[in-house]
Amino acid sequence: MKNCDLQVQRKNKPLKTNNLLNLEKMEKQTIEEIRKQYPDQWVLVGDPELKDGDSLGSIISKLERGFVLLASKDKREIGYKTKEARKGFKSVTCIYTGQIPQNRKWLL
The SS3 assignment for 63 reads strand
Residue 53 CA, chain-centre distance (Å), reads 18
Quick check: 26 and 15 in contact, CB under 8 A?
A: yes
Question: What is the rounded average pLDDT for all residues in the chain?
Answer: 77
Which residues partner with 50 through β-bridges? 63
Dist CA 85 CA 33 (whole Å): 20
What is the pTM (predicted TM-score) of this model?
0.69
Between CA 85 and CA 26 the distance in angstroms is: 13
Per-residue pLDDT of the chain (108 residues; tens, 9 = 90+): 344 444 455 444 434 443 333 334 678 999 999 999 999 999 999 999 988 766 766 777 889 999 999 999 999 999 999 999 888 899 999 999 998 777 777 666
Task: Return the domain boundaries, the chain.
Answer: 7-96
